[in-house]
Structures are given as C-alpha cells and as structure tokens.
C-alpha cells in the first residue's frame, strides 16, 4: 500500500487544474444504460472509482472505452447481457447502486447487491427503493440482493423524500425518464451533480424540470437517444485545493473553479479571513498575513456547507486563532480524521456529531492513517502546514477521489512525494 510523505514547506503559489466531478461522473456513467445509443462523457476525472464503475457497466454488457488517457469515456449499451450487479463490486463502491434505476427503466428487471455500510456510516439505501416503488417497481430483498421488477414498465408517480438523499434522487430521476406518465419528486437533493445529471439526460431526450430546486418533475418518454456531455468541475476537489493556500499561506489559482459550486464553503473561508477572487480562468485563493480566524461550521445538503469538505475544513481550523465548532449533520461517523489530527498536535474534542477545535500555532508532522477518502486529504492538508514530516498511510483511499494529488500540490511548491508500498 502506497504512502505519501508531506513536509511543511511554507507558502504555496501557482495554479492547480480542477478535474471533472467524481460524484457527477459516477451517476452520469450508469445513464448510458438508459439508451441503446452511445453516450460520451468528456472532462472525466481519472480515478479508481471511475474505473470501478466502468468495470461494473462492462459486467452488465455495456461497452466502455476510456479515451485520451481516461479524460473521455465513450460508452454504449446496445443490449445488456447481464442484469446482476455483484456484491464484490458493489461493496467496493456504493455508487454501484445507481445502475438499479436505469436497468429497471430500460429492461424492467434488475438484481443489485445491497452496498452495505462504509467507514463513515451505515448508509442505507431504503430511500432509493421506496422512490422506485412509488413508480411501480416490485422489490424483493433476499440474500443481500435487491430483486427488482417492473413487468409493464415503470409508471409515473409522486414521491416525497423524508430526508434529502443525493443518490436516491439520482436513481429516481434516471428511472423516471422512461416511466409512463409524469413523476414528481419532492424534497430532492439540489447538488450541482443533480443538475449535471439532469442536463445530460435532457441532452439524451429526457423531459425534466426543476433540477436544482426542491422539486423535480419528469415527463416519461419511450426512449432516450445518445449524447455527448462534459462532466461538471469537481466542487469537492475545488474546495480541497482552495484550502491549501488557506492553511499554508500564499496564492493559488484553481483553474476551472466556479464560485456557484462552492458558495457556502467560500463564505466560511472569507469569514475566516481568506480572500477568494473570481478570475477569467477560475478562482484565486490567497491568505493575507497571520493566522486564519476560527469559524463554526454545520454540514447540510446543498446549498449548505458540504459534508465532503468537513474534514478538510477541520484541518484548517486546527491552526486557526480561537475555537471552532464543527457539526456533522449528514453522516453518523465522519470524524475519523480527528484522532489522526490530534496525533499531529491538534486540540479536538469530539462529542457525538460535534467536534470542538481549539487552534494551535502549528501542527507537528507525524505518521498518520488514512481512513476514508476525505479524511485522507485532510491529513495531507494538515501535513502541508505542519512542522516536519507527515507520512500518510493507506493512500488508496485518496486515489478514489483525487487525481495525482502529489503532482498538483507539488506544482505549487508543496514538498510531497509518494512512496510505493509492497
Ligand atoms: C453522495 O453519497 C456522495 N457520493 C457522498 O460523497 C456525499 O457525502 C453524499 O452524497 C452527501 O452529499 C456520491 O455521490 C457517489 P446521501 P450518497 O444519500 O448519495 C442517508 C465522497 O466523499 N440515507 O445524500 O450515498 C445517509 O445515510 C462521498 O465523495 C438514507 O437514510 O449520500 C446519509 O445520512 C462520501 N437512506 C444521508 O441520507 C437512503 O436510502 C445523505 O446520504 C439514502 C441515504
């Protein structure tokens, strides 16, 4: 298993290109199952999760070609030879559940493994299933698999989500595109990845309104045609790299970054004393002199502060002036980075879903353990500003969501290198 060694090396300066969004690509790829015609995605990120999704689609009979070293995904599923998503793939990547809605909509049957939990929480999929049942799906859960049928095809329905769920919104939206009649989905997720999916589905001929708001209305169509669609920039990668000059000092331009993707996060950075400026090519982030100020954060569904940036913001707050309170309101166990940051000298008190961080002058480098994707990168950020050397172990977590992190940070002056493990 590879490790990454980071040594505190002062201010960062330069440009970091932002890739296409992992969490958009992971829902755009299953959309190819909705049509016999080719779907091509451009600006795709080069990540292990994308390769896992490609393997899953290929196991169902779809063709997936990763062109231009993975930047372009040329996909087609003229006919599906298999309608079973196996546990051994689904357990590795929960987003695999997103093939359920499209397979049901297209062929009226599917067997998909339940994903099981993961490090940050139980992460049930009950809302995915209830939304599909509202469209007439007949679901039978046995031996860890969902056996789904829609004999006469899905039909339009009305479903109000009791809590906001990104994945369940995506599954239901894709299923509704070819349900007979009108589907109204209420209390849906409003993330940019939802809007990106709806935009792609409209390009394929779907009739969708309201994406980006709390209610989406879909008029079902008989078939969808092929399309080419650019993946939206990754707002979580963007926010992560905006925090690099914030925690180290200096000035970094995040190329391709858009302020509309990171509104609430930007407000918190500015409240902490960080300057964020829109340029013609992206967003420039700079830290004036001195330490950042502590700010309080509570994670919420978009447009609130993203849970996927909570760990990274905690790293910044570890060296802030004052005390900050971070509330994790989306997942039940998303503070696993805290004990690792404490190993670096941070002062963090975790009580249930609330972490209280008292800033210290400077963190100290130490060997630390990556536990999940976003926790891993928060340790890298902390290491950038720490005195001495930090060794982040188990960086396979990191490679799921960040392309060549050591190259992107090294290009703006960070002292960072990857050590290949056995
Ligand atoms: C998506 O996960 C993202 N993953 C997550 O990013 C992100 O943290 C999350 O949305 C929230 O923004 C992808 O898009 C691939 P949810 P998802 O359904 O869809 C509960 C990363 O680091 N829930 O919005 O699984 C759930 O337990 C990953 O890139 C149910 O109870 O998240 C959670 O508490 C991590 N029943 C809350 O809803 C359900 O059927 C929000 O989860 C579904 C969800």
Cα gap 392→377, rounded to integer Å? 9
Q: Of 122, 164, 166, which is best to mutate to test ligand 1, by the most ligand atoms within 8 angstroms of its C-beta? A: 166
Query: Is residue 248 within 8 Å of 286, Cβ to Cβ?
Result: no
Cα gap 266→387, rounded to integer Å? 27
Task: Specify the pLDDT at position 73.
Answer: 98
Rounded (10°) angle between helices 192-203 and 166-176: 10
Task: Specify the pLDDT at position 89.
Answer: 87
**Which pair of structure tokens corresponds to residue 11?**
């201010």
**Closest residue to atom 7 of ligand 1, CA basis:** 308
Cα gap 24→73, rounded to integer Å? 13
Q: Is the pTM of this model over 0.95?
A: yes
Query: Is residue 63 within 8 Å of 91, Cβ to Cβ?
Result: no
Going from the Cα of 307 to the center of ligand 1, the distance in angstroms, rounded, reads 9
Cα gap 393→357, rounded to integer Å? 24
The DSSP annotation for 332-343 comes to SS--THHHHHHH
Query: How big is the chain, counted in residues?
Result: 422
Query: Is residue 8 within 8 Å of 383, Cβ to Cβ?
Result: yes
**Closest residue to atom 14 of ligand 1, CA basis:** 23
Going from the Cα of 112 to the center of ligand 1, the distance in angstroms, rounded, reads 18
Rg for the chain, CA atoms, rounded:
21
**Closest residue to atom 8 of ligand 1, CA basis:** 308
Task: Specify the pLDDT at position 70.
Answer: 87
- Cα–Cα distances (Å) from 277 to 37, 97, 253, 266, 309, in that order, read 42, 38, 9, 10, 19
Full pLDDT tens readout for the chain, 422 residues: 889 999 998 899 999 999 999 999 999 999 999 999 999 999 999 999 999 999 999 999 999 999 988 899 999 998 899 999 999 888 888 899 999 999 999 999 999 999 876 777 777 899 999 999 999 999 999 999 999 999 899 999 999 999 999 999 999 999 999 999 999 999 999 999 999 999 999 999 999 999 999 999 999 999 999 999 999 999 999 999 999 999 999 999 999 999 999 999 999 999 999 999 999 999 999 997 778 999 999 999 999 999 999 999 999 999 999 999 999 999 998 999 999 999 999 999 999 999 999 999 999 999 999 888 999 999 999 999 999 999 999 888 898 999 999 999 999 999 999 998 86
Task: Specify the pLDDT at position 422.
Answer: 62
Q: Around Cβ 289, how many Cβ atoms within 10 Å?
A: 6
Q: Is 396 helix (H, G, I), strand (E, B) or coil?
A: helix
3-state SS record for 98-145 = HHHHHHHHHHCEEEEECCCCECCECCCCHHHHHHHHCCCCEEEEECCE
Q: Is 205 helix (H, G, I), strand (E, B) or coil?
A: coil
Cα gap 198→92, rounded to integer Å? 26
Structure letter (DSSP) for residue 265: H
Cα angle vertex 150, ends 149, 153, to 5°?
A: 155
- Cα–Cα distances (Å) from 342 to 328, 339, 375, 400, in that order, read 18, 5, 13, 25
**Which pair of structure tokens corresponds to residue 260?**
């509309």
What atom of ligand 1 comes closest to residue 306's alpha carbon? 12
What atom of ligand 1 comes closest to residue 129's alpha carbon? 40
**Closest residue to atom 5 of ligand 1, CA basis:** 308
Going from the Cα of 11 to the center of ligand 1, the distance in angstroms, rounded, reads 35
What atom of ligand 1 comes closest to residue 130's alpha carbon? 40
Q: Strands, DSSP E only, in 282-408?
A: 282-287, 297-298, 323-327, 347-351, 354-358, 367-369, 389-393
Active site residue 254: no
Structure letter (DSSP) for residue 74: E
**Closest residue to atom 16 of ligand 1, CA basis:** 165
Going from the Cα of 308 to the center of ligand 1, the distance in angstroms, rounded, reads 10
Torsion sign, CA atoms 346, 270, 15, 371: positive
What is the CB < 6 Å shell around ligand 1?
A: 23, 26, 94-95, 121, 123-128, 163, 165-168, 307-308, 330-331, 373-374, 401
Omega before residue 76 within 30° of 0, cis: no
| Residue (of 364, 415, 416, 368) closest to 394 by Cα position | 368
């Amino acid at each position: 298993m590879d490790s990454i060694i980071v040594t505190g090396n002062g201010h960062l300066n330069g440009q970091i290109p932002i890739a296409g969004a992992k969490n958009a690509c992971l829902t755009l790829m299953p959309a190819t199952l909705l049509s016999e015609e080719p779907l091509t995605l451009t600006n795709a990120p080069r990540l292990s999760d994308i390769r896992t999704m490609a393997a899953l689609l290929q196991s169902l009979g779809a063709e997936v070609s990763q062109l231009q070293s993975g930047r372009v995904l040329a996909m087609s599923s003229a006919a599906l030879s298999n309608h079973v998503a196996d546990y051994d793939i689904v357990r590795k990547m929960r987003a695999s559940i997103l093939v359920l809605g499209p397979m049901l909509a297209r062929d009226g049957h599917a067997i998909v493994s339940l994903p099981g939990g993961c490090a940050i929480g139980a992460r049930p999929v009950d809302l995915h299933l209830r939304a599909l049942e509202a469209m007439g799906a007949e679901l039978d859960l046995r031996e860890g698999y969902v056996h789904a049928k829609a004999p006469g095809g899905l039909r339009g329905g009305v479903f109000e989500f009791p809590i906001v769920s990104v994945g369940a919104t995506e599954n239901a939206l894709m299923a509704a595109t070819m349900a007979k009649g009108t589907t109204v989905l209420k209390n849906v997720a409003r993330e940019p990845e939802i809007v990106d999916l709806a935009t792609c589905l409209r390009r394929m001929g779907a009739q969708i309104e309201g994406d980006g708001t709390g209610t989406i209305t879909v008029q079902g169509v008989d078939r969808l045609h092929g399309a080419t669609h650019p993946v939206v920039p990754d707002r979580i990668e963007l926010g992560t790299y905006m925090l690099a000059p914030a925690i180290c000092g200096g000035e970094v331009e995040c190329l391709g970054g858009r302020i509309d993707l990171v509104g609430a996060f930007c407000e918190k950075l500015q409240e902490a004393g960080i300057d964020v400026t829109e340029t013609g090519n992206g967003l420039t982030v700079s830290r004036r002199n001195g330490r950042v100020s502590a700010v309080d954060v509570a994670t919420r569904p978009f447009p609130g502060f993203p849970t996927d940036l909570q760990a990274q913001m905690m790293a910044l707050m570890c060296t802030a002036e004052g005390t900050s309170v971070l509330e994790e309101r989306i997942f039940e166990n998303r503070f696993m980075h805290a004990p690792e940051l404490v190993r670096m000298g941070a002062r963090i008190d975790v009580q249930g879903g609330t972490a209280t961080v008292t800033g210290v002058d400077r963190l100290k480098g130490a060997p630390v353990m990556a536990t999940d994707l976003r926790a891993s990168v928060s340790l890298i950020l902390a290491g950038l500003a720490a005195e001495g050397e930090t060794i982040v172990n188990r960086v396979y977590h990191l490679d799921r969501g960040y392309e060549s992190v050591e190259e992107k940070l090294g290009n703006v002056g960070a002292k960072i290198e990857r050590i290949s493990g056995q």
